[in-house]
Amino acid sequence: MGGVASTMAAKFAFFPPNPPSYKLITDDLTGLLLLSPFPHRENVEILKLPTKKGTEIVAMHIRHPMATSTLLYSHGNAADLGQMYELFIELSIHLSVNLMGQVSRTHMQILKPHTSVLKKVTAPKQEDIILYGQSVGSGPTLDLAARLPQLRAVVLHSPILSGLRVMYPVKRTYWFDIYKNIDKIPLVDCPVLIIHGTSDEVVNCSHGKQLWELCKEKYEPLWLKGGNHCDLEHFPEYIRHLKKFISTVEKPPCQRYSSKRGTDQFGQPRKSTDVFEVSRKSTDWREKARHSTDRPEKLKNQSNHADKLEKLKNQSNNTDKLEKLRMDQMERSRRSVDCHEKSRKSIDHQLERARKSVDRLDRIRTG
């Protein structure tokens, strides 16, 4: 067992670039720490943060004037702040967030600065913090997330199930395993976004998918087709999806849950839907209130309907009147014809009598 633990520790040890991509210097005039050769920026501060082990972590704190969230980024085990510098600047700009990027001389320390230090240098309260863990950095990210119940959100970038599971397809967690993300992610209460490349040759995409299934608060994952372990930032979908996630979790809870129901960004099933259901009552109350505002419209529709019925009734009455008038005219015409017929018969009768009278006179004359 000791051999396995040693092999695993060696595999996941921190291997920064050699030589380093930056130098840590102190400005003679201001006394500020600077990263050389990068130019000094007014919104960028270089810090040294103490850990529980008594060592120090070099960190880079970027402030954004419009930020409401602070992204605490723990990168992989083969990079340093110099290599991450430009990416951190771009993320802060595009996501409109403050960003704290960290590096340590040994990832075995799991980047555990005191919570009080986190609050002091990154955000005034826990609810404003978004934890971001890349590769092995997912270990310290989930370790911290499992202990901070009021975090705003967590992002896992090419995460691992555990150190041992990267090397061997084990079905259980052993005491000597490291970065036991598979056991810690069910303890995370905030929304979780998982990003993984489908062609990752270092950490198989199945690690990300299994972690997503174990999340309480599943946000729509991003499986980047053809993405490898260290190139996901180059995909256009990466920044778009990440920006949408940040925008969603920064909304007030009632709006966030309403958006969830409308776009189905949050996965199913998840235990934390009870939280969503409780908050959704407020939207149901507004829905009920809206029904009362619909009553005048319904009354108006009923009035319009009554007017239409009245018009139809009037039209029906007019039709009856026209029909009666037509029948009266026909009756008058019939009576007129009858009178004419009687007059004609009377004249014929008189002519017949006159003819008979003439015939009688003729017979008298001839007799």
The confidence score (pLDDT) of residue 6 equals 54
Cite the active site residues.
Answer: 135, 200, 229
Side chain identity at residue 257, one-letter code: Y
Q: How far apart are CA 58 and CA 52, in angstroms?
A: 14
The torsion angles phi and psi of 194, rounded to 5 degrees, stand at -120, 130
User: What pLDDT was estimated at residue 246?
Assistant: 97
What's the pLDDT score for residue 290? 44
Q: Report the sign of the C-alpha dihedral through residues 268, 269, 272, 273, in that order.
A: positive
Task: Supply the CATH classification number for the domain 2-250.
Answer: 3.40.50.1820
Domain ranges (residues) in the chain: 2-250, 294-367
pLDDT score at 67: 94
Give the angle 77-116-35 at the CA atoms, nearest 5°: 45
pLDDT of residue 288: 43
Alpha helices by DSSP H, the chain: 2-11, 81-95, 115-121, 138-145, 163-167, 181-184, 205-214, 236-249, 253-263, 273-293, 295-366
pLDDT of residue 50: 76
Tell me the average confidence (pLDDT) per consecutive run of 10 residues in the chain, 367 residues long.
55 66 88 90 88 79 94 85 92 95 52 49 76 92 92 96 91 90 96 97 96 96 96 96 96 70 52 36 41 51 64 66 69 63 61 65 62
